[in-house]
């Protein structure tokens, strides 16, 4: 091997030395951070032991937050809608029952205000027995694009 081979060996040793120094520096930095953290924890523990017991904190709330006369929660099976029927073409704004609760004939167009979907409901069959139920066709149209 000539002079160029020795030069590459020197470069290699130089890079190994620099890499080793970087690793030692990172290790020292981590050790210093851990030492500082443990000293802070010791100081906090000493302050906690030396501090006298504090008096209880009194919290005052506004009177409107202290009343307990709120209505009890209940499940409402209704949702807002706008509808039109064959008899009356005037729009009707109100709350609609979910389909399984209705036992009256249904024949209307409605817009579900929760999702903005158009719904056509028409009663097919009403079973008026021990268990009342209504079977009807429901055609629901959604708008898929956002524009």
Q: Is residue 121 part of a domain?
A: yes
Instruction: Say if residue 82 is in the same domain as residue 48.
Output: no
- The Cα–Cα gap between 134 and 143 comes to 28
Q: Is residue 88 part of a domain?
A: yes
- The Cα–Cα gap between 103 and 123 comes to 10
Read off the pLDDT of residues 73-121 as tens digits, 9 standing for 90 and up. 566 667 677 777 777 777 778 776 665 555 667 777 777 777 777 777 7
Instruction: Say if residue 89 is in the same domain as residue 136.
Output: yes
Read off the pLDDT of residues 9-64 as tens digits, 9 standing for 90 and up. 888 889 999 999 999 999 999 999 999 999 999 988 888 777 676 777 777 777 76
Render the burial of 110-132: b for 16+ CB within 10 Å, e for the rest: bbbeeeeeebebeeeebeeeeee
Instruction: Say if residue 92 is in the same domain as residue 130.
Output: yes
Instruction: Say if residue 137 is in the same domain as residue 92.
Output: yes
Torsions phi, psi of 67, nearest 5?
A: -75, 145
How many Cα atoms sit within 13 Å of 47 on the Cβ side?
6
pLDDT at 135 over 90: no
Q: What is the pTM of this model?
A: 0.31
Q: Is residue 59 part of a domain?
A: no
How many Cα atoms sit within 13 Å of 127 on the Cβ side?
10
Q: Is residue 83 part of a domain?
A: yes
Number of folded domains that form the chain: 2
From the centroid of its chain, how far is CA 79? 23
Torsions phi, psi of 95, nearest 5?
A: -115, 135
* Residue-range definition of the domain harbouring residue 1: 1-52
Q: Say if residues 95 and 103 touch (Cβ distance below 8 Å).
A: no
- What is the Rg, in whole angstroms, of the alpha carbon atoms belonging to the chain? 39
Torsions phi, psi of 73, nearest 5?
A: -70, 145
pLDDT of res. 83: 74
- The Cα–Cα gap between 147 and 140 comes to 19
Read off the pLDDT of residues 65-74 as tens digits, 9 standing for 90 and up. 666 666 665 6
pLDDT of res. 121: 76
């Amino acid at each position: 091997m000539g002079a160029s081979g020795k030069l590459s060996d020197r470069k290699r040793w130089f890079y190994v030395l620099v890499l080793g120094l970087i690793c030692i520096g990172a290790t020292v930095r981590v050790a210093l951070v851990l030492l500082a953290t443990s000293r802070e924890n010791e100081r906090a523990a000493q302050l906690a032991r030396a501090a006298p017991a504090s008096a209880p904190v009194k919290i005052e709330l506004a009177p409107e937050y202290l009343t307990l006369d709120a209505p009890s929660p209940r499940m409402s099976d209704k949702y807002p809608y706008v509808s039109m029927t064959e008899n009356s073409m005037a729009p009707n704004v109100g709350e609609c029952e979910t389909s399984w609760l209705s036992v009256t004939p249904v024949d209307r167009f409605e817009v579900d205000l929760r999702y903005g979907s158009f719904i056509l409901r028409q009663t097919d069959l009403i079973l008026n027995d021990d268990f009342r139920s209504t079977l009807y066709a429901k055609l629901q149209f959604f708008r898929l694009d956002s524009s």
